[in-house]
Structure 1
Amino acid sequence: MNAWRLRLRIPRLQLHARSIEATQYVESPSAQLQEFLVKLGSALLSIGTAATDIQQTLKRVSIALGSPNAALIVFPTLIFVGLPEEKETRFEVAEPWGGEVRFDRAARVYAVVDRALAGTITAAEGIEAIEAIVAAKPRFRMPLRVLGHGIAAAGVGLVLLGADPLSMLYAFMLGVLVGIAKLLIKPGTYAAILFPILTAFALATIVFAAASQFPHVVAEPLQVLVPPLVTLLPGAVLTTGIQELAAGDMVAGSSRLVSGIAQLLFLAFGIIAALTITGVPASVALFSSHPPLGAFQPWLGVVLFSLGIFFYYCGPRRSLYFLTLVLAVAYGGQILGAVLVGSVFSGFFGAFALTVVAYLVQSVRGAPPAVVCFLPAFWLLVPGATGLIGLTQSAAGTDIDASSLTSLVGSIVAIALGVLSGTALYRQIFRVAPARWGLRLV
Structure 2
Amino acid sequence: MSPWHLPFRIPKLEIARRSTEASPLVDSPSAQLQEFLVKLGGALLSVGTAATDIQRTLRRVAITLGSPNTALIVFPALIFVGMPEEKDTRFEVAESSGGEVRFDRAARIYFVVDQATAGHLTAGQGIEAIDAILAAKPRFNLVVRILGHGLAAAGVGLVLLGAEPLSVVYGFVLGVLVGLAKLLVKPGTYAAILLPIASAFLLALVVFAAANVQLVGEPLQVLVPPLVTLLPGAALTTGIQELAAGDIIAGSSRLVSGIAQLIFLAFGIVAALTITGVPASVALFTTHPALGAFQPWTGVLLFSLGIFFYYCGPRRSFYFLTLVLLVGYGSQLVGAVLLGSAFSGFFGALALTLVAYLVQSIPGAPPAVVCFLPAFWLLVPGATGLISLTQSVTGSNVDASSLTALVGSIVAIALGVLSGTALFRQIFRVAPARWGLRLV
The TM-score, its normalising length taken from structure 1, stands at 0.95
**Counterpart selection for 1:372 from 370, 373, 398:** 370
2-side partners of 1:378 and 1:13: how far apart?
40
Match of 1:20 in 2: 20
C-alpha spacing 1:232/1:191, structure 2 compared with 1 (3 Å): same
C-alpha spacing 1:291/1:356, structure 2 compared with 1 (3 Å): farther
How far apart are 1:294 and its partner, in Å? 6.5
Q: Which moved more, 1:403-412 or 1:219-228?
A: 403-412
Q: Which moved more, 1:84-93 or 1:19-28?
A: 84-93
SS in 2 for 1:79: strand
Matched residue type, 2:112: V
SS in 1 for 2:319: helix
Alignment of 1:201-350 (within 5 A): 201-213=201-213, 215=214, 217-292=215-290, 295-350=293-348
Match of 1:355 in 2: 353
1-side partners of 2:298 and 2:155: how far apart?
8
Q: Deviations over 1:327-357 (max 9, x none)?
A: 1111111111221222233111111111101
SS in 1 for 2:80: strand
Q: Deviations over 1:215-236 (max 9, x none)?
A: 2x31111111000000000001
C-alpha spacing 1:11/1:204, structure 2 compared with 1 (3 Å): farther
Q: Deviations over 1:354-401 (max 9, x none)?
A: 110111111111111010000000001121212211121111111432
Please report the RMSD computed on the Cα atoms of aligned residues, expressed in angstroms: 1.5
How far apart are 1:429 and its partner, in Å? 0.6
Match of 1:54 in 2: 54
How far apart are 1:289 and its partner, in Å? 2.8
SS in 2 for 1:287: coil
Match of 2:91 in 1: 90
| Divergent runs of 4+, >3 A | 10-14
Matched residue type, 2:157: G
C-alpha spacing 1:12/1:305, structure 2 compared with 1 (3 Å): farther
Q: Which moved more, 1:103-112 or 1:344-353?
A: 344-353
Q: How many residues align?
A: 430
SS in 2 for 1:30: coil
SS in 1 for 2:366: coil
SS in 2 for 1:384: helix
How far apart are 1:68 and its partner, in Å? 0.7
SS in 2 for 1:243: helix
SS in 2 for 1:148: helix
How far apart are 1:291 and its partner, in Å? 4.7
2-side partners of 1:220 and 1:12: how far apart?
64
Matched residue type, 1:139: R
Q: Is the 8 A contact 2:38 2:94 kept in 1?
A: no
2-side partners of 1:259 and 1:110: how far apart?
26
Q: Which moved more, 1:420-429 or 1:401-410?
A: 401-410
Match of 1:3 in 2: none
Match of 1:79 in 2: 79
1-side partners of 2:272 and 2:293: how far apart?
33
Alignment of 1:179-190 (within 5 A): 179-190=179-190
How far apart are 1:95 and its partner, in Å? 2.4
Q: Deviations over 1:166-206 (max 9, x none)?
A: 11111000000001100000111111111101110100010
Percent identical = 78
1-side partners of 2:129 and 2:100: how far apart?
20
Q: Is the 8 A contact 1:148 1:307 kept in 2?
A: yes
Stretches of structure 1 that go unaligned for 5 or more consecutive residues are 1-9
1-side partners of 2:291 and 2:198: how far apart?
35
Q: Deviations over 1:412-431 (max 9, x none)?
A: 11111111111111111111
1-side partners of 2:397 and 2:134: how far apart?
48
Q: Which moved more, 1:11-20 or 1:306-315?
A: 11-20
**Counterpart selection for 2:425 from 427, 431, 436:** 427
